[in-house]
Amino acid sequence: MHVELARHERSRRSGWRWAWLAAAVLLASLANATQPTAARVDRQRLLAADKEPGNWMAHGRTYSEQRFSPLERINDGNVAQLGLAWHARLDIDHGTEATPLVIDGVMYTTGARSIVYAFDARSGTLLWKYDPKVPGDRLGKGCCDIVNRGVAAWNGRIYFASFDGRLIALDARRGRKVWEVQTVDLKRSYTVTGAPRIVNGKVIIGNGGAEFGVRGYVTAYDARNGRQAWRFYTVPAGPAKPGDDAVTKMMAASWPAGAVWAFGGGGTVWDSMAYDPQLNLLYLGVGNASPWNRYVRNPGRGDNLFLSSIVALNADNGRYVWHYQTTPNEGWDYTATQHLILADLPLGEQMVPVIMQAPKNGFFYVLDRRNGKLVSAQPFSKVTWATHVDLATGRPVENPDVSDYSQQAKLTWPGPLGAHNWNPMAYSPRTGLVYIPEQEAPFPYINDPNARFNRRGWNTGVTLPPAPEDAASVAQMLQLFKGSLLAWDPVQQKPAWKVPYKSPGNGGLLATAGNLVFQGTADGRFVAYSADKGETLWQTDAQSGIVAAPISYAVDGEQYIAVMVGWGGGFPRYAGQIAAQNQVRTVSRVLVYKLGGSQVLPALAALAPADPPPPSTADAATIDRGRQLFSAHCSFCHGAAAVSGGSVPDLRRMSVATRQSFAGIVLGGLRLQAGMPAFAELLSLPDVEAINAYLVKRAHDEIAERVQQSSATP
Ligand code: CA
C-alpha cells in the first residue's frame, strides 16, 4: 500500500512535469513564431546602432554608410599584435566582394554564385549555408564576375539577391527559405550583385547589366512576404511611351530625338544606396549608359537623365525628390554607382548634412543631401576628360581635346575602371577624412563605326583594343596603371595623405575609433594604417588579392577585424597582366583577426603544370584575326592578352581534352553550367579556329617567357 501510494505520487508528479514541459515547449514555439531568435534587426535598433558597436547590422554598418567602427580595443598602440583568429574557405574561388554582417555573435556573408554563409563569429564554425543554385546559363550574363556584395537583415530574416535576379528571404536561425521573388526580366541580360537595403520594412534592390543593354530600376518589396511596394525606373521607357507626370517628362526631354532606345538606356543601380531617417530620403547611385558610345546612343547630345546621377527618393513610396547628375551625356562608363556616404560637415558657420561620392569620373562631390545642391567638387585623381566642375551650374566642363572621341581614339583618364570603383570608401568622424581606394587606369575610347549590337553579348559601342603581349610593352603599359589609398579632406577638398600602391584594383576600406584604417590590396596583403597619418602599422599575407571592404565587430568583449578575400570582379578578371605582375591568385576565404590571434593559413598547393600546347602552325594573319576576336569577345573574362586574372581558366594552359572540344565549348555551350556562354550567334567555326590559333601562340609565348625568367634569375 505504502509502495503503491509512492508509485502513484511519482507518476502524478511526473505527469505534472510532462504537462509543464509541454506548456513550456508550446510557449517557446509561440514565442518563436512572433519573436525571432536571430538577426533581430529593426528600425529602432539600426537607428541606435552606435549603442551596440559590437554588431555590424547593415551593409555600411549604419544607414549613413560611413563604414566607421566605434570599437577601439584594437588601436594604433597595439595593432602590431593582431593575428589570425579564424579563417574559412568558401565553396568557389572567384571574385569575393561581400561585406559581412555580424549580429549577436553570428556572421552572415556571401560568396560567388550568390551562396550565403552563416558562421559563429567567434569560432568560424559554419552554422548554415544556402545555395540559391543560380542556373549555369545565367552565369555568363554579367559583365563583372559572378560576385555578390552581401546580405541585409531584418526581424529574424536574412535577405539577399541571387545573380539571376531573385530576392530571397531566409530564416536567420536555420538558413531556410521563407519566400523568393524574381525581380528582373530574364529575357534581358539583367544580373544582381548588390546587397539589398532595408528601410521601414521594405527590402530595396537594384540590378546590373548596362554593358549588355538593359533599363535600370530599383524595386521595394514588403519584407514580410515579398509583395512589391514600389518600383522606380532610372531612365525613360522610350519614345513610344512619353510619360505624363513632370518627372517623366523631365527625363524624356533629356533624351532628344535620335536617341537609341533598343538597349534599354542603362542607368542600373547595381551597388550603392544610403538612407537618411530624418529626411526619409533613400539615395541611389545610378550607373552608366547602354551603350557607352554617346555618338551612337545620343546624337542629340541630351543629358540623358538619370544616367550617372545620384537620385533621392521618398523611401516610403519611391517618388522622385531630387537628383544630381555627375556626368551629363555620359560616354565613358562613368557610373555614379560608387559608395554614398552621409555625414554632417562643418562648412562655413554651420554643420551641413551632406552626401559624398567619389564616382568613376574622378571628381569628389559634396552635396547638400536635403536638396541635392552642389557644395563642392574637386578632382581626387588624374582627370583629363573635364577641366573642372562649375559651381554655379553644377556641371562638369569638358575638355573637348580629350572628351571628343567621335573621330579618333582618345586615351582618357579615368577609363571604365574609374578613378574609384565599387570598392567601398570609409569616413572617420574622428579624423574628418574620407578614405578612398583611388586609382589611375586610362582607356583609349573610340567611336566604333562597326559596332555590332545584339541582345546576346557586350553592347558598349566602344572597341576593346588588344592588349600588348611582349614583356617590354606590357611593362610600359602597366606603368600607366596606378593605385593608392587616399585620405581625403572633404571640407578642404584636398588630400590629407596618400599611400601609393603598385597597381589599381585595391580593396574597400574600414575606419575605426582606434585611429586605424584597414585595407586589403591587389597584391595580396591586408594592412592597418594610422587613420590620422597613414603610417603602416601592421600587415599580413592574405594569399589572395583583396577587393572587398573589411568590417569590425566584438563578441564577449573581444574585438575582431574581418575581411573577405578573393581576387576577382570586372577589372581584376580582365587585367590578368596585373595579377601576373603582383603574383596573386584567387583564393576565396573569410579571414578574421584579433589581438594575439595565432592561427596560420595553410600553404597553397602549387598550380598543376599545363599540358604542352600543340605546335603553333597557323599563319600570322590567322593569329592576328584570333587576337582581335579574342580581345572583343573573350578577354573581358579570360583576361587581356589571354593572361587570366585568376578566377576564370587561363586559356594558355588549356588541357588536351579541353582543346579537343574547344569549338563545342565556345559555340555549343558545353561548359554552360560552369558559366561559359555559347557564342554560336556571334562567332563562326573559322572564328573559333582563329581564336584557338591565337591561344596556341600565347601558350608558346608563356613557355618562352618562363624560360627567359628562369635564365635571368641567378
Ligand atoms: Ca558599367
Q: How many CA within 13 A on the CB side of residue 635?
A: 21
The CB density around residue 98, as the number of other CB atoms within 10 Å, is: 28
**Å from CA of 89 to ligand 1 middle:** 30
CB neighbour class for 472 (10 Å; exposed up to 12, middle 13-18, buried from 19)? exposed
**Å from CA of 573 to ligand 1 middle:** 15
**Å from CA of 290 to ligand 1 middle:** 9
Q: What is the DSSP string of 596-658?
A: T--B-PPPPPPPPPPPPPPP--S-HHHHHHHHHHHHHHTHHHH-GGG---SSS--GGG--HHH
Note the pTM of the prediction, 2 decimals: 0.94
3-state SS of 430-469? CCCEEEEEEEECCEEECECCCCCCCCCCCCCCECCCCCCC
Residues 176, 109 contacting (CB under 8 angstroms):
no
The distance from CA 609 to its chain's CA centroid, rounded to whole angstroms, is 32
**Active site (catalytic) residues:** 333
Residues 60, 68 contacting (CB under 8 angstroms):
no
**Å from CA of 206 to ligand 1 middle:** 14
Contacts of 276 (CB under 8 A, 6+ apart): 63, 64, 283, 342, 353, 369
The tens digit of pLDDT for each residue in 138-147 reads 998 888 999 9
Residues 84, 90 contacting (CB under 8 angstroms):
no
Q: How many CA within 13 A on the CB side of residue 510?
A: 30
**Å from CA of 289 to ligand 1 middle:** 8
**Å from CA of 333 to ligand 1 middle:** 5
**Å from CA of 87 to ligand 1 middle:** 32
Residues 101, 116 contacting (CB under 8 angstroms):
no
Q: Which long-range contacts link 351-358 to residues 24+ away (Cβ below 8 Å)?
A: 353/276, 353/278, 353/279, 354/490, 355/274, 355/283, 355/310, 356/427, 356/434, 356/490, 357/272, 357/285, 357/310, 357/326, 358/419, 358/420, 358/425, 358/434, 358/436, 358/438, 358/488
CA distance 323 to 197: 20
Q: Please report the sign of the dihedral spanned by the C-alpha atoms of residue 592, residue 593, residue 599, residue 604.
A: positive
**Å from CA of 293 to ligand 1 middle:** 12
pLDDT score for 241: 74
- The CA-atom distances, in angstroms, between 485 and each of 30, 67, 341, 520, 704 are 51, 16, 17, 10, 36
Angle at 276 between CA 419 and CA 98, to 5 degrees: 50
**Å from CA of 154 to ligand 1 middle:** 30
CB neighbour class for 137 (10 Å; exposed up to 12, middle 13-18, buried from 19)? middle
**Å from CA of 212 to ligand 1 middle:** 9
CA distance 412 to 432: 31
Contacts of 702 (CB under 8 A, 6+ apart): 652, 653
CA distance 534 to 551: 19
pLDDT score for 450: 73
CA distance 104 to 632: 48
The single-letter DSSP state of residue 195 is P
**Å from CA of 210 to ligand 1 middle:** 6
Cell readout for 609 is: 603544370
Q: What is the helix (H) or strand (E) element at residue 577, kind and residue range?
A: helix 576-582
pLDDT score for 456: 65
Q: Which domains does the chain have, with CATH numbers?
A: 150-348+443-468 (2.140.10.10), 620-712 (1.10.760.10)
**Å from CA of 637 to ligand 1 middle:** 14
Q: What is the helix (H) or strand (E) element at residue 199, kind and residue range?
A: strand 197-199
Residues 57, 46 contacting (CB under 8 angstroms):
yes
Residue among 603, 589, 594 nearest 119 (CA): 589
**Å from CA of 270 to ligand 1 middle:** 9
**Å from CA of 421 to ligand 1 middle:** 10
CA distance 552 to 557: 12
- Helix, strand, coil shares of the chain, percent, nearest 5, are 20, 30, 50
Low-confidence ranges of the chain (pLDDT < 70): 1-36, 242, 454-456, 713-714
The tens digit of pLDDT for each residue in 357-386 reads 999 999 999 999 999 999 999 999 999 999
Q: Please report the sign of the dihedral spanned by the C-alpha atoms of residue 318, residue 199, residue 101, residue 427.
A: positive
**Å from CA of 82 to ligand 1 middle:** 37
Give Dmax over CA atoms of the chain in angstroms: 111
Q: What is the DSSP string of 467-498?
A: PP-SHHHHHHHHTT-EEEEEEEETTTTEEEEE
Q: Where are the alpha helices (DSSP H) in 61-198?
A: 136-139
